[in-house]
Amino acid sequence: MMPMLETLIHIPNDLIPYTLCLSSEGVPVRGWYLPMAEAAEEMLQAGRVFVERPYTQYPVGERLAAYFEGEQIDFDTPLHLTGTDFQKRIWAEMTRIPYGDVVSYGELARRIGCRAYRAVGQACHRNPLPLIVPCHRVIASGGRLGGFGGGEDIKRLLLRFEGVNPMPAG
- Catalytic residue (one of 21, 114, 124, 135): 135
Q: What is the CA radius of gyration of the chain?
A: 16
Q: Let me know: does 79 contact 121? Beta carbons within 8 Å.
A: no
Neighbours of 149 (CB within 10 A): 16
The strand pair at 28-32 and 5-10 is best described as unpaired
Q: Is 55 exposed, middle or buried (0-12, 13-18, 19+ CB in 10 A)?
A: buried
Contacts of 111 (CB under 8 A, 6+ apart): 93, 103
Question: In the chain, which ranges are E strands?
Answer: 5-10, 19-22, 28-32, 49-52, 103-104, 138-139
What is the rounded distance in angstroms from the CA atom of residue 169 to the CA atom of residue 110? 23
Concerning whether 135 is annotated as a catalytic residue, the answer is yes
Give catalytic residue positions.
135
